[in-house]
Structure 1
Amino acid sequence: MNIDRFELEDFEIENTSVWSFPKRGKWATHDSKYRGNWSPYIPRNILKRYSKEDDLVLDQFVGSGTSLIEAKILNRNIIGVDINPKALKICEEKIKFDSNTKSNVTLRKGDSRNLDFLKSDSIDLIMMHPPYSNIIKYSEDIDGDLSLMKLDDFYKSMKLVAKESYRVLKEEKFCAVLMGDTRKKGHVIPMGFNIMNIFIEEGFILKEIVIKEQHNCRATGFWKTNSIKYNFLLLAHEYLFIFHK
């Protein structure tokens, strides 16, 4: 597959703790068809700031492959893991393009809570966008799919994810996690900060908290009506936590 556009003429690496990308980003094979996938501007910024060419990167919630595309363009080697075979098939198609780099892209069906196929201290950068508990369900009955779990089980699973992430990451390297919050009975559940604390409890040091503004959420119309009716604020942000080992 030949792609005309890899680089962005107006791209500048972010240098504040608030990120906002109104344009989704449609270069290379990126698209927004996979619900809940992160904007390619996010992995591009993470890769450029926290890794270098030929590094080995891990994304254990690879989804539709946004991070794979960016790693391939930027000449980083990357391992993409997902428990959902449908996601991996999408990834296979997304990475079928020619580029001027020699990066290796590896796909693997696996459970983010158990990365036993990876050696300890072997990864140069981790970047992940886990499901936000069961807000969006990515499968119907896959055992171990975190997107099917209620909050308590989700937190327990993310503790195992954090533990494995710490194990496989090299010393002095970084782990980036994008996470949002949710509501229950009109009150905010601070899922983002709860996940942040889980990673800190497993040994990571918090380097940065980025506030990422959300744009064009599919449910905006429904929630806007209800926010007025029941008097609550729309959640229009996510957190990008940068952890240091």
Structure 2
Amino acid sequence: MEADAKPRPHDGPDAENLLRAALRERMRQLAEAYGLSVPGRDAFNLMSGVPAELRFLPMGDRDGAYDPEHGVILINSEMQPQRQRFTLAHEISHALLLADDDLLSDLHDAFEGEQLEEELEALCNLGAATLLMPGALVREVIERFGETGRALAELTRRADVSATSALYTLAEASETKVLYAVCAPVRSSAGNGPITVRASEGSRHFRYSLTEGTPVPEDHPLVLALASGLETRDQSYIPFRSGKKMKAAVVAFPQLRRVLVSFTVS
């Protein structure tokens, strides 16, 4: 390999990971810079730096699209507002990426076909998260509330994003061995059922996660948090589907008929 050559996936998994990390950092920088250049993060202000028109219309199963040829961003009008907002940030990220010749060239050099599309979508999801949850906001939330379920709730509220979007961003920024989860009761015509895991993500220092649909035992502190409507802190455990109970400090914060929880392992 020449001294100035970029690593390619065929150079091995380490080279591929290095390349992917470099691409992610470049996308994060693009989104951070764009976020600082616009006056706000509502739809009007987010669109102010993109040479495109914003249109809302029914799109079936599609969330949105960016058409650079005709200068238009399309958003599915039948989605929930939070999902529309994230989709808008995602499509703006497509515009940012397409305008960066170096980043686009590196992507096309390294990947092709279906894998290229997957990498593009992953980068634009990262760009959307960065636009809506800039590093300064994430650091402020962590500094005030710690790496806890309360921080997850605050990031969700202040960034006006889904709890799942906030979960992945907070996990990536966390420095401790922590697992975040969004849990909620199963709903049916008969009423509320048991509380189950809807999504989870561990920090880079914690390699475990909870499988979606994992039931939470009735004696767990996060069940008490939902029942009482109050934040609950306790020394408890991570309720893995296998039945294994890993000791952890639990901070469970009820929000909108769900519980946002952190499990911190020493």
Q: TM-score, normalising length from structure 2?
A: 0.28
Structure with more helix by fraction: 2
Higher RCO (CA 8 Å, separation ≥ 6 residues): 1
Q: TM-score, normalising length from structure 1?
A: 0.29
Structure with higher Rg: it is 2
